[in-house]
Amino acid sequence: MARHLAKRDTLPLGVRIINSLLLVLVVLLMGLPMLNVLAVSLSTQAKSDTPGLVLWPSPSTVQGYTFIWNHVRFGGPFFNTVYVSLVGTVLHVLMASLAGYVLGEQRLPYRKALTTFVLLTMTIPYELTMIGIYAVNRDLRLTNTYAGLIINGMISGFSVLLMRNYFMAIPLSLAESARIDGASEIRIFRSIYLRLSVSGLMTIGTLELIRRWNNITMTVTLISDMKKWTLPVVLRYILFDQTSTSGTSYIFANAKMAAVVLTALPLVILYFFTQSFFSSGIMIGSIKE
């Protein structure tokens, strides 16, 4: 019986060949540019500026990484990005979890209306509110400060709704038993809901860290002090307006690609550690009512 079902579920040979060809095509389209960036970053200055696709550095060197870190002072923006991203992500996860816990409470008045309002906030593009956001931050003296980058975006409708649905999937009997035993709401939230929602916490934490790490618009809007720029902003100027950041007449392609690798590498490493949480995190936390 099992052998019969296995044969029936197997795709025809032609379909499997087409799927394999499409998969190879996707890998080539996505992998070749990444391999080219890595190879150019490890090439010499002369080789890196040679036209054509480079898939293997010959000879290999770390000149580009040394130059971009020391002469272009890439270390400052790197640590700026790490600080803003980590602190902002921790606060984002905390606020989204608290809001999701409150919004998932069955006895909350106007719960459906509040949920609908949170959902509507996801439909408003940032570009429409950019001028207002800048004006508010200017009046609060948050421009040219790390606090401005951390506070803005500290909570989002998507994260709140995802955590709300995670918490609603937890049996109410666990919380009721804890209340009978005299546990406070904070202890119930910390000991039951957070511990049973690790996948959701890791999902919104990873997505928020990626968003903050790659955020250019908010940094350009609020920060004019070059010493407080983050990696994506500095990378943009290195690639398109190098004289404003480097103080040198020319930056070779190997140094430019080294900057790209240093900017993307932490996120690649992060993905390999958190990918197991995404499938369960997104599926369980999908929006429902």
Q: Where are the domains of the chain?
A: 2-68, 74-284
pLDDT of residue 56: 83
Note whether 268 and 204 are within 8 A (CB): no
pLDDT of residue 246: 47
Distance (Å, rounded) from C-alpha 49 to C-alpha 112?
59
pLDDT of residue 165: 87
Distance (Å, rounded) from C-alpha 260 to C-alpha 237?
12
Per-residue pLDDT 10s for the chain (289 aa) are: 445 544 555 778 888 888 889 988 988 888 888 888 888 888 887 777 777 777 788 788 888 888 888 877 788 888 999 999 999 999 999 999 999 999 888 888 888 899 889 888 888 887 788 888 899 999 999 999 999 999 998 888 899 998 998 888 888 888 888 888 888 888 988 888 888 888 889 889 999 999 999 888 888 889 988 888 898 888 888 877 655 444 555 778 888 888 888 888 888 888 887 776 665 555 554 444 4
Q: Which amino acid does the sequence have at 164?
A: R
pLDDT of residue 213: 92
pLDDT of residue 1: 46
Q: Which helix (H) or strand (E) holds 68?
A: helix 63-70
Looking at the domain 74-284, which fold is it?
MetI-like fold (1.10.3720)
Two tokens, residue 107: 């006895």
Residues 6+ apart with CB under 8 A from 194: 97, 201
CA distances from 80 to 84, 137, 159, 230, 236 (A): 6, 19, 24, 6, 16
